[in-house]
């Protein structure tokens, strides 16, 4: 088993987690990683904070460089190498060396596809104009930072009100830009319910972001030099010298599809709980692969760094000869807009309606600390429970300092299939600097018992 050769396509979270695990289990096994970009194992989620100037250097976002993998772990990482084709019959991949312009075939005994996901870029007039960016890999964040340093834009438009859109709106405000955000949806953060998301858009407006909801992006306008000058929606024209597209992402599955590897939820690669694809000895993990949703009890596409790292570890264990299953996901996520913390897990009320679960819901307002303790901030908790059983299905939290990480308590409770009543009586910690005597998630649960 230790003599088997592993080839990994993709050198970020899932790919390098798997490769590192295989190396730890098999010190003499041949491992080759092909990475399209220049960087490996980087913190993509940190890019908005680097652009904002809150992270001193893009170097700080790199957990481990290619040369470290090569020298310390004997993992043959080859950056700037694009995999063009997967031949499952002959167990080989066709690769182009982008620096030298040469093409070659590389054989494998086991193949891990960890190609990630790419931003959705709409086919609109002038979409390729100078000044329009999407964030995906580390280099894209560096490109935005360098463009801002070189051109000093004064007005920016963020397209899309999801995680990237909200974080980039904050980042651009921090850099002193005049910022507008547009979204087709009736509220920002479509993964949350409108009554909770309204707090987010209001916080953005209060901070000076012009938020335009229910507006459809139609085209971009440019000046005589071909540089971005305006964003046109179905309602207005906004002057802009910088645009950040945060419309959404798609799994990178072109290679898998061409190799007749079956696709699943939302076009992601179909995998079982061992992260095996429908082709023997081919595995998939990370943002290109589907996951099992613990509440919906169906396969879903959820692209999160936490999921990618865990899937990479599970794939690495199984490629090494072990037996491990990836249990599933809840879509637990967290972000912030300035002082407002934002988090969610499990099902929203909207999702519960969509899949036909009978449910009850309650939203409460509370404080992050005892009311008399300095620094106490407001927060709002929304819980969704199954009607009849009281089983916890989902939760959303928005509020001040100390609010959002409470979502972890809810994620554990939902995973354990606890009821609202059981959550009420969990022995959670209490002291005035950290919480009221009844933690807000328990207060919310009490209203559903």
> Annotated catalytic sites, by residue?
45
DSSP state of 225: T
Exposure letters 24-39 (e unless 16+ CB within 10 A, then b): ebbeebbbbbbbbbbb
Neighbour tally for 356: CB within 10 Å: 7
Look up residue 317 and give its two tokens: 């264990």
Phi, psi of 21 (to 5 degrees): -65, -40
Q: Hey, CA dihedral for 72, 310, 37, 333, is it positive or negative?
A: negative
Nearest-5° angle of CA 399, CA 137, CA 308?
Answer: 65
Residues 106-133 as b/e (b if ≥16 CB within 10 A, e otherwise) read bebebbbbbbbbbbeeeeeebeebebbb
Candidates 363, 393, 392; CA nearest to 379 is 363
Distance (Å, whole) CA 320 – CA 10: 18
Is residue 214 a contact partner of residue 186, using CB atoms and an 8 Å limit? yes
Q: Which residue(s) pair with 90 in the sheet?
A: none
Note the helical H segments in 130-245: 138-151, 163-174, 194-206
User: Which tokens go with 423?
Assistant: 């959550």
Phi and psi, residue 262, nearest 5°: -65, 140
Q: How far is 111 from 439, CA to CA, in rounded Å?
A: 47
């Amino acid at each position: 088993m230790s003599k088997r050769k592993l080839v990994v396509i993709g050198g970020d979270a899932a790919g390098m987690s798997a490769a590192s695990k295989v190396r730890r289990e098999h010190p003499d096994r041949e491992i080759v990683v092909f990475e399209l970009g220049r960087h490996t194992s980087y913190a993509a989620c940190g890019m908005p904070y680097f652009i904002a100037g809150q992270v001193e250097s893009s170097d700080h976002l790199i957990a481990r460089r290619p040369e470290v993998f090569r020298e310390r772990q004997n993992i043959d990482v080859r950056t700037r190498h694009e995999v063009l084709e997967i031949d499952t019959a002959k167990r080989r991949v066709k690769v182009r060396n982008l620096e030298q312009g040469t093409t070659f075939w590389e054989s494998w005994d086991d193949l891990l596809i960890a190609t990630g996901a790419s931003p959705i870029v709409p086919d609109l007039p002038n979409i390729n104009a100078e000044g329009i960016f999407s964030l995906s890999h580390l280099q894209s964040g560096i490109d935005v930072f360098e463009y801002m340093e070189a051109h000093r834009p004064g007005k920016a438009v963020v397209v899309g009100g999801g995680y990237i859109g909200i974080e980039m709106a904050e980042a651009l405000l921090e850099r002193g830009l005049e910022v507008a955000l547009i979204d087709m949806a009736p509220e920002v953060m479509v993964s949350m319910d409108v009554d909770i998301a309204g707090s987010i858009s209001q916080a953005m407006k209060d901070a000076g972001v012009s938020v335009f909801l229910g507006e459809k992006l139609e085209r971009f306008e440019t000046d005589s030099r071909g540089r971005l000058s305006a964003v046109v929606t179905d309602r207005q024209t906004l002057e802009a010298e910088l645009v950040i597209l945060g419309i959404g992402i798609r799994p990178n599955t072109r290679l898998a599809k061409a190799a007749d590897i079956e696709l699943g939820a939302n076009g992601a690669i179909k995998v079982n709980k061992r992260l095996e694809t429908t082709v023997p000895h081919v595995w998939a993990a990370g943002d290109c692969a589907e996951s099992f949703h613990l509440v919906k009890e169906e396969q879903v596409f959820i692209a999160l760094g936490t999921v990618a790292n865990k899937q990479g570890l599970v794939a690495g264990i199984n490629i090494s000869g072990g037996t491990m299953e990836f249990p599933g996901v809840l879509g637990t996520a967290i972000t912030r807009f300035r002082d407002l913390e934002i988090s969610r897990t499990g099902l929203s009320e909207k999702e519960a309606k969509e899949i036909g679960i009978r449910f009850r819901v309650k939203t409460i307002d509370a404080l992050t600390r005892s009311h008399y303790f300095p620094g106490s901030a407001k927060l709002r908790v929304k819980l969704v429970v199954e009607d009849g059983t009281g089983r916890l299905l989902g939760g959303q939290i928005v509020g001040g300092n100390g609010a959002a990480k409470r979502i972890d308590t809810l994620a554990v409770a939902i995973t354990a299939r606890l009821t609202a009543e059981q959550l009420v009586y969990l022995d959670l910690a209490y002291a005035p600097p950290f919480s009221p005597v009844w933690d807000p998630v328990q207060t919310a649960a009490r209203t559903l018992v």
